[in-house]
Structure 1
């Protein structure tokens, strides 16, 4: 290890940034800024066993929404505007990360995003992308992997596969 390696790089845990505002996980259990997209898993409003993988691509603002088994969302065939799943995803991303961070990531100009009044709807209204199919499997797999971590029993001994997992209070 060289002298330039920072303290957080020498640890197997990093500090978790808490959500900007509390979120309810029932509608959007998983949201992330990753792979050049705002992406996540959104629960179906009509079928408790169905979820949608929805995403907005940074820069182009292309959007995608399909079931976890890659069937397109029924509200997107026209391609004229994002479906309700995409609106829910944007709203939850704003709660999780704050509108300024999400807007920067997606390269969206929503005016004065620091004013606290901008919402997920403002974010979606500021984009003019088109439907573009994005792979759902990667996002859904990552969501399932995160769910598996919730199933691990409480323990004080190290768990090798969790050595990278963020820990609250690390780095303080």
Structure 2
């Protein structure tokens, strides 16, 4: 067993390439989807929660207050395309292709992944995942505001302390 397997912390995989967080501050491969938060191109105070389902490529895009994206009619909008590009920068094209179960000809890239998924004629997916994704994004932002410390964070403790029974 290696040292990281015995430790109480998870191994962090460095990004495949550095990415700019201003356009897509949050991207994750989770819950059977590529999902994340994408900044609006027209309004600095608006963000979109976008996702693409693994295998089905069902897509969803809406604002953080559940208003549908006007560009996601009948296909991927620019927010979803940007999310795919940033996911490839964060995780690498091969890992994103494997997770989403996308088959491409040759070496995968953000462009070939998007082309393969749109060629499969994806359908509009459920926007129910938007709220938990946006909530996780806000929680990540809150951690950035904390002062550096080596002490424990109560909300990061996974197991409740055991109490002695009297």
**Matched residue count:** 154
Structure 2 residue aligned with 1:75, among 58, 63, 71?
A: 71
User: Does the 8 A contact of 1:55 with 1:64 survive in 2?
Assistant: yes
Partner of 1:121: 111
1:99 partnered with 2:89: no
Task: Choose 57-66 or 6-15, whichever is displaced more.
Answer: 6-15
Shift of 1:72: 0.5
Structure 1 residue aligned with 2:139, among 137, 145, 150?
A: 145
TM alignment of 1:19-98, pairs within 5 A: 19-77=15-73, 79=74, 81-98=75-92
Partner of 1:15: 11
Q: Which runs of 5+ in 1 are unaligned?
A: 165-172
User: Does the 8 A contact of 1:13 with 1:163 survive in 2?
Assistant: no
Shift of 1:106: 0.4
Q: Which runs of 5+ in 2 are unaligned?
A: 159-166
SS at match of 1:126: helix
Give the TM-score normalised by structure 1: 0.83
1:56-90 C-alpha deviation (Å, 9 max, x unpaired): 0001111110001111001123x1x2000000000
Partner of 1:130: 123
Following TM superposition, where does structure 1 have runs of at least 4 consecutive aligned residues deviating by more than 2 angstroms?
A: 5-12, 156-164
Partner of 2:105: 111
Shift of 1:6: 7.5
Q: RCO (CA 8 Å, sep 6+): is it higher in 1 or 2?
A: 1
1:160 partnered with 2:143: no
Give the TM-score normalised by structure 2: 0.86
